[in-house]
Chains A and B, each alone.
Chain A
Amino acid sequence: MYGRKVKLRFFFVLLILITLILSVFLVLKSLEENVVYFQSPTEIKVLPEIDRKKIRVGGMVKKDSISIEAKKIKFIITDFKNEINVIYSGAVPNLFSEGKGVVAEGFLKDKNFFLATKILAKHDENYMPPEVKAALEGK
């Protein structure tokens, strides 16, 4: 009915379509698995259940809350409504200090304890991550 060339072309287009759909599916799936959500201490407080996935918590480092030992650093992140205790062992960025904005990445132990695996670097003392700004401006 159709010529061989048309059939070939049809298969070719089909092949491309399948590849395309497959790769889009793959990309979306791994996006879903690998994205890190950002939450403020207040948002964590109202969580219905503790998620085992990696998240980011942002806010201010509470005054007089940093304490440091050989193996770990403890501090409190606050958004001036709620706060959360953070335990971290790893390198801290230069601008990590009390009263300054911070974003910590890691896992929730429970609603009051957060095990951080990374504290994000910032480049400018006046700079505040937009997430932190939004979290502090209330919600």
Chain B
Amino acid sequence: MAFGLCSSFLIILFSIKNFRDTIFFDNKIIFFTFLQFFFVVVSFLALIFSFVNSDFSNETVFNHSHTTKPLFYKISGTWGNHEGSLLLWLLVLTLFIFLFLLKSKEQPKQYRILTSLFQQIIIIGFFVFVMKTSNPFNYIFPVPNEGLGLNPILQDPALAIHPPILYLGYVGSSIIFSSTLAAIPLGYVSKDWAKHIKKWVLISWIFLTLGILLGSIWAYYELGWGGFWFWDPVENISLMPWLALTTLLHCILVLEKRTTLTSWVIVLSISTFTLSMCGTFLVRSGILNSIHTFANDPERGLFILIFLFILIFLSLFIFFFFHKTKNEKSNSFFWLSKETSILINNWFMMYFLSVVLIGTVYPIFLEVLSTEKISVGPPFYNKLIIPFMVPFLFAMAIGPKLKWIKSDLQNKLYLISFFVISFLLSIIIIRNLNIDFLINTILVTSAFYLFFITLRDFFIKKFVNLSQNIAHFGFSLLILSILFNNIFSTEIITNLKIGETFQTEKFKINFENVEEKNGKNFKAIIGKFNIENLNGKSEVLKPELRIYNQPNIVTSEADIKTNLLKDRFMTMNLVQNEDYFNIRYQVKPFMIWIWFSVLLISIGGLRSLMQKKNES
């Protein structure tokens, strides 16, 4: 069966390539794009099918699946590997161009054709990539009886849907890239274009936000470190396109209202997709080592790198030779206006982006140049990003209050009163704590300021700019939760034997017993811990150790008790040949608010998208 699939896949590819020559006839484009999309869907479904049926004659299935795996993870295993995930990437690419052609009927014909052309260039590149280096339908003979299984830490609901969601955002930026390239030579970078492309920016932005959220939640409870962001290179490469996309979104708003910042918009659209591609290159080539590195294969990395350079070169060429800045009538900005504040915040975001970029890429370059191995940790990012958060937050609070073109700050007494309130509130909170007073107060003040001002707008303005307000409110909530989470977290790490008790000033941890339990493809050791407060309240936490049968890997399952104010988080680990269990107990305030606020941010985006649809 797999052999048939493989050959049909080949035929599909060649036929699509032949079709590409005829792509300049408008009616046929949609049909062939659909055909292309349809074929990719078929091969993707076929791959899912062979995963579900545990067809081990397929090499990909053999390497990443196992008969005892639950059905849900058999399906998610389809994209839990290099070959399958690239097929997913291809699926999203073709899906987006198909949708784009369907949804853009009112746009100029030439523009649509060119967009589709650029998108096809990307698609061809990835087709060749899949075929040459990572065909998911490779056949193996003799057919093995059993597969090698999926890495157990990937067997998790959040991570099962994380790749498709993230890809929709990551790869979705390709359509922005293609249509920007198409719009430049046609001189179509205008208000109409901004209105139309904004939808696509919003879509990929929403999915990217959600994808990052899912990945972060997964890391929180599965990796057992009790954090939500580690400044790991892999996280950074998803953050960078997000920053670029967010900046782009704001620029497009300006472009939509006033025909300025065109070059900015172009550069940002190009860099968003380039960053996505860079991310793929860094991860897939095995330069960055992480759970996303499925196999280290230099050939794959080289291919993406070459392809990446071709794309960058192409886009820069188009940008420099075809982009003519029309003499923009009102190019000068008055210093106190909405667009200035957006521009200022754009600069900040670009700064954050470059910090993250340098922190991620610098170690790689250093290693290539001097063989010295370094890593860049959280202190680097904290030091460079936190101080600039303060003006960023203030500009975010005041910016939306300003009018387009020219504005003044009369009648804005509440702006000052809110500032005083947030300042006093922060002092009260921070004063009694044993932490750096100055920095924390300033930070919390600025976050509270944005919080109150956006909160006020919900009541005063009702439905004017509601989506923007939701997103900004979400962001202030996010920063506040992160700050309080950092300030108030407590952590205890200790080694305990069964029956022992660990005593602190505020509570004691009682290690009562362990029991064994059998899951479908793992054996679990479940510890029972009784945590008793001084006021007599007690709570039972049951962290698990899972020993998976195929592949033979031990994972810790954290036990997390969540309420509105704080999470209690516990993991345990068994150290080889010893009676001691390694216990980590954390109290993390406002965890749920971090997740919720990110969700709010994307809801803001969703609302804006819905609104657009209602209007048109």
- A residues contacting B by CB (< 8 A) are 23, 26-27, 30-31, 33-38, 56, 66-73, 89-98, 121, 123-125, 127, 129-131, 134
Given A27-B358, A73-B495, decide whether A94 and B384 contact each other with a Cβ distance below 8 A: no
Interface contact A31-B289, CB-CB below 8 Å? no
The residue among B151, B374, B571 with the most chain A CB atoms within 10 A of its own CB is B374
Across the interface, B577 reaches (CB within 8 A) one of A66, A69, A93, namely A66
Q: Cβ of A125: which chain B residues have Cβ within 8 Å of it?
A: 551-553
- B residues contacting A by CB (< 8 A) are 151, 153, 223-225, 289-291, 351, 354-355, 358-359, 362-363, 372-377, 379-380, 383-384, 493-496, 500, 545, 551-556, 571, 573, 575-578, 580, 582, 584
Query: Please, could you name 14 A-B residue pairs with CB atoms under 8 Å apart, sorted by A?
Result: A27-B354, A27-B384, A31-B359, A33-B379, A35-B380, A66-B578, A69-B580, A73-B582, A91-B225, A91-B584, A98-B576, A121-B225, A124-B151, A125-B553
Across the interface, A35 reaches (CB within 8 A) one of B153, B374, B494, B496, namely B374
Interface contact B556-A94, CB-CB below 8 Å? yes
Given A73-B582, A94-B573, decide whether A89 and B493 contact each other with a Cβ distance below 8 A: yes
Q: Cβ of A23: which chain B residues have Cβ within 8 Å of it?
A: 351, 354
Across the interface, B290 reaches (CB within 8 A) one of A69, A90, A123, namely A123
| Alpha-carbon distance A81/B554, docked complex (angstroms) | 30
Given A31-B358, A35-B380, decide whether A56 and B375 contact each other with a Cβ distance below 8 A: yes
Interface contact B374-A38, CB-CB below 8 Å? yes
Q: Cβ of A36: which chain B residues have Cβ within 8 Å of it?
A: 374-377
Nearest CB of chain A from residue B261's CB, rounded to whole Å: 16
Across the interface, B373 reaches (CB within 8 A) one of A37, A69, A98, namely A37
| Alpha-carbon distance A67/B579, docked complex (angstroms) | 11
Chain B residue at minimum C-beta to C-beta distance from A129: B289
Interface contact A94-B555, CB-CB below 8 Å? yes
Interface contact A34-B224, CB-CB below 8 Å? no
Interface contact A97-B223, CB-CB below 8 Å? no
Q: Cβ of B376: which chain A residues have Cβ within 8 Å of it?
A: 31, 34-36
Interface contact B224-A91, CB-CB below 8 Å? yes
Q: Cβ of A98: which chain B residues have Cβ within 8 Å of it?
A: 576-577
| Alpha-carbon distance A23/B353, docked complex (angstroms) | 13
| Alpha-carbon distance A98/B224, docked complex (angstroms) | 21
Nearest CB of chain B from residue A89's CB, rounded to whole Å: 7
| Alpha-carbon distance A67/B580, docked complex (angstroms) | 10
Interface contact A70-B380, CB-CB below 8 Å? no
Given A123-B151, A123-B291, A124-B151, decide whether A68 and B379 contact each other with a Cβ distance below 8 A: no
Q: A34-B376, A73-B575, A125-B553 known; 10 other A-B pairs, CB under 8 Å? A: A31-B359, A34-B377, A34-B379, A36-B374, A37-B374, A56-B375, A67-B578, A71-B495, A127-B289, A134-B373
| Alpha-carbon distance A129/B287, docked complex (angstroms) | 11
| Alpha-carbon distance A59/B445, docked complex (angstroms) | 46
Interface contact A90-B375, CB-CB below 8 Å? no
Chain A residue at minimum C-beta to C-beta distance from B552: A125
Interface contact B556-A66, CB-CB below 8 Å? no
| Alpha-carbon distance A56/B363, docked complex (angstroms) | 14
Given A31-B358, A34-B380, A123-B153, decide whether A70 and B495 contact each other with a Cβ distance below 8 A: yes
